[in-house]
Structure 1
Amino acid sequence: MVGKTGLWRALALGAAVAAASGFVAAAAPVKPPARQPPKPCLEASEACVQWVALGKSGARSMVYSTYPLSAPNAHVRRALIMVHGTLRNADHYFTTATGAAFLAKALDDTIVIAPALRSADGGCKDALAPHEVSWSCGGDSWRSGGKAASDPALTSFDFVDEILRRLADKKVFPNLKVIVVAGHSAGGQFVSRYEMANRVHETLGTPVVYVVANPSSYAWPDATRPLPVDDAAPANAVRGWESEEVHTHFSYGPFAAADKAPKYDQWPYGFAERSGYAAQESDAQLRGQLAGRPATYLFSQVDTLPLGGFDGSPSAMAQGATRRARGEAFVKYLNEHFGGHAKSQIVPECGHNDRCVFTTDDVLKVIFPPV
């Protein structure tokens, strides 16, 4: 019989032999902590400013962005580019867009970008940084892909082209699934014309969708215009706020007052005498791109008064009496006569206000599509 002392010696000897033989289980490896996603930059301040180089002369334009455009980020799955209105207040629109991303719980997987199309041209008196592009403020302006006042070799659409190319770089954003280009008011004018004219849409390898909200005018694809009857009758258009449904009772024909508005079909209100970026494409190409690219048009229910920089020029009035009526008639004509698939959506209880529009639950689903 083995005594206690002998038993302990035997156990110790067995342990030593096992250790020497490599039979002792190795400790489980310690896993490194999971890499945390970068935190978004959310203030419209210098901390969120980035510069986008344009052309070969050292020219540049600025954007506000929640994440760097050049640092690899595998967490980003969606991009939202939000174009400002006529005041060129990219800081305000960056705050609107990041607020919308917060409500949509999309801050962590969405890069939000607000381009600043600033100008010291004509009546615009923005303070520009060294080498910053001064975009055209009048005529064929930044709203419609016009040439830069400081460099005629550049257009405002080239600026967004370059942003899209940066986003589509898989070395930087390997998991990006969709890019949304959105704008309100004058920004809506920009997006509607950029949608039809840009030449990068099919080249990126990443889907791009467009969201056009409450512009004052459109580039009509032919010389036809809405007839001032039914939902386009001025009195009916002004009372359009009474319904939350998209109006559809529109008729179309030659513009009867062309003698009083002889430039009604000139760019950027129509396709005639185009200049800037869009001048490099044929009418047929523009029509095909306008009809074929995915777009949602947002119309505020009560945007039926001439407020907020409303375009009351003869060329704009040829398209309808109110922003809402102009948009409803335009989308119906595009879909019925050119085979388009554009969507129209009324934003209930909103007027001409970007924050009301882009923070509405139904609109959050549009500007932050599932990925």
Structure 2
Amino acid sequence: MLLSFIFHLVALASASVLHRRQQVNQNPTVGGDPDHGWKAFPQVNDATAYPSWVVNDGAQLPVYQTSGLNNSEVTRAVIVLPARPRDCWYYWNVVNNALYNATFHDSSIRREDISIMAPCFFTQADMDAGATGDDVLLWGMTTWIDGKANILPSSVINFSSFDVLDALVSYYMDTQAFPNLNTVVVGGHSAGGQMTQRYATLRKSTENDDRLHFWIANPGSLCWLTAERPMPNSSCIDPDKYKYGLESNFPAYATSDTNRLGRDGIVSRYIGRNLHYAWGTADNGPGDISCEALAQGRTHLERGRNFVAMLEKLTGGIPALSTVDWIEGVSHSNEGMMNSEEGIDKLFRYASNATARNVNVSSAAGSRSSSSPYVTPSQTGDVMKTKSLSFIFILVLPLVFHVII
């Protein structure tokens, strides 16, 4: 009788644990590679794949978007940008898994409130390999990162990758379509972080800027705000040209604004935006090895520290609407950054500087609490809480002793 009771207890405990299992979707597998082109535009769990999302008259782009949401319930949108390999499906899935992680540990964050979108900036190699059709916007291998114009189709001329982002932001900012949406986050890691920071630098002002946030994680280089560099190199002819600085060489998307505003005007507009920087304290890879990038620092982390030191020297110090997070122990990992407590906060919860947590924004990397409840990269997979199991044993332990006695 006792043995039967114990087996029943274990089964009950296991059922409770499985009921609270955190969902983690596997990343899609796609044939091809970023150098020779992707061979497919795969389906992704929880997302609707749109091979030809209309971003403007005649301009179409493949995107992924969260499926099954009621637009009237959506309060937040996250537009996640891909890294250099252009694997937009992977980045959508990583953010979606981070959202599962967030909702698992924080009941105030609800999946039905958050729409995730991932635009796909494909190249001719991707079209030739089969990932996309010949009617969608295409760019050079990395020109989409800087806001350059498309190269195809020939029916669409001078359409910047930043024009795409403008269109996607406007889509979510439309109060007729999303009446309760409060915040749009444009964010990315690595090359996606570079694109985010440069888009924040050159985006034109709109009436919705107070609702737009930018999450910039582990960028390989940055668009520097001042003409000086922390590690100048005499062999580098002009490290202050865009995309590394604000002297000249801007894409057509921004030429009229940059000519009118000049450096001071561009910087003033930029620092008035909701900018959230994040660096992993173990991200010691060199990333961009051009002389322009090396003038900013030797590694991703060193460039981040130098950039923050530059912000601290601005009049007034770190801009009021900016935050800086140093993610302890994380290297160049999008999953690590997005699943960190700080990453989840900025992507899914953060609303304004009035509710910001105290973060260390000094040039030396700070640390986050080791008691963070969020899953680390090494814990991905079917992650389960043990609290429910402990609770059951605590509850029934007296009954076991009673039976034994």
1:261 match:
236
Unaligned runs of 5+ in 1: 1-40, 228-254
Q: Which moved more, 1:275-284 or 1:101-110?
A: 275-284
Q: Which residue of 2 aligns with 1:147?
A: 149
Correspondence 1:285-364 to 2 at 5 A: 285-306=265-286, 310-337=287-314, 339=316, 340-341=319-320, 342-364=322-344
Q: After superposition, where does 1:95-106 map in structure 2 within 5 Å? A: 95-105=93-103, 106=110
Q: Which has the higher helix share?
A: 2
Q: Distance in 1 between matches of 2:145 and 2:214?
A: 15
What amino acid is the match of 2:112?
D
Partner-residue secondary structure (3-state), 1:142:
helix
5 Å-filtered alignment, 1:16-35, equals none
TM-score with structure 2 setting the length? 0.67
Structure 1 counterpart SS, 2:124: coil
Asked if 1 retains the 8 angstrom alpha-carbon contact of 2:150 and 2:159, the reply is: yes
Q: Confirm or deny: 8 A CA contact 2:62 2:119 kept in the other structure.
A: yes
Residue 208 of structure 1: how far off its partner (Å):
0.8
Number of the residue aligned with 1:230 = none
Judged with a 3 Å threshold, the aligned counterparts in structure 2 of structure 1 residues 123 and 266 are, in CA distance, closer, same or farther, namely: farther
TM-superposition CA deviations, 1:29-66 (whole Å, max 9, x none): xxxxxxxxxxxx9986176113432443x220121100
- Structure 1 54/179 Cα, relative in aligned 2: closer, same or farther at 3 Å? closer
Match of 1:132 in 2: 136
Deviations 1:179-199 (A, max 9, x none): 111100000000001112112
Is this contact kept in 2: 1:328–1:344, CA < 8 A?
Answer: no
Q: Which amino acid aligns with 2:54?
A: A
* Matched residue, 1:37: none
Deviation per residue, 1:214-269 (Å, 9 max, x gap): 01111112320114xxxxxxxxxxxxxxxxxxxxxxxxxxx3x23x1103111101
Q: Whole-Å Cα distance in 1 between the matches of residues 209 and 61 of structure 2?
A: 24
SS in 2 for 1:187: helix
Q: CA deviation at 1:338?
A: 5.1
* Aligned counterpart for 2:250 among listed residues 274, 295, 298: 274
Distance 1:122 1:53, change over 3 A: closer
Kindly provide the amino acid, as one letter, of the partner of residue 353 in structure 1.
S
- Partners of 2:163 and 2:276 lie apart in 1 by 22
Counterpart for residue 388 of structure 2: none
Shift of 1:123: 12
- Contact 1:287/1:338 (CA < 8 Å) preserved in 2? no
Q: 1:126 to 1:333 in 2, by over 3 A?
A: farther
**Is the Cα contact below 8 Å between 2:279 and 2:327 reproduced in 1?**
yes
Checking the alignment, whether the CA contact within 8 Å between 1:298 and 1:344 is kept in structure 2 is: yes
Question: How far does residue 206 in structure 1 lie from its aligned partner after superposition?
Answer: 6.3
Mapped partners of 2:98, 2:326: distance in 1: 18
Q: 1:167, CA displacement in angstroms?
A: 0.4
1:299-345: per-residue Cα shift (whole Å, max 9, x none)?
01100123xxx111111101001111101211231342254332221
Q: Provide closer, same or farther for how the CA distance between residues 72 and 118 of structure 1 changes in structure 2, counting only shifts above 3 A.
A: same
Percent identity for Structure 1 against Structure 2: 26
- 1:117 matched to 2:121? The reply is yes
Deviation, structure 1 residue 114: 0.9
Alignment: residue pair count = 293
1:152 Cα deviation after fit? 3.8
Unaligned 5+ segments in structure 2 are: 1-24, 29-41, 104-109, 352-405
Contact 2:56/2:167 (CA < 8 Å) preserved in 1?
A: no
- TM-superposed CA distance for 1:127, in Å, is 3.4
Q: Is the 8 A contact 2:209 2:273 kept in 1?
A: no
Q: What is the correspondence of 1:187-206 to structure 2 with a 5 Å cutoff?
A: 187-200=192-205, 202-204=206-208
With the length of structure 1 as denominator, give the TM-score of the two structures: 0.73
Residue identity matched to 1:336:
K
Residues 126/304 of structure 1: CA separation in 2 closer, same or farther (3 Å cut) = farther
Q: 1:152 to 1:78 in 2, by over 3 A?
A: same
Per-residue CA deviation, residues 158-215 of structure 1 (Å, 9 max, x unaligned), is: 1011011110111211110111111000000000011121125x32376011110001
Aligned 8 A contact 2:325 2:342 in 1: no
Partner SS, residue 74 of structure 1? helix
Q: CA RMSD in A?
A: 2.6
Map Cα deviations across residues 275-310 of structure 1 (whole Å, 9 max, x no partner). 23232322333211221111111001100123xxx1
Distance change (3 Å), C-alpha of 1:267 and 1:49: same
Q: Is the 8 A contact 1:63 1:113 kept in 2?
A: yes
Larger radius of gyration: 1
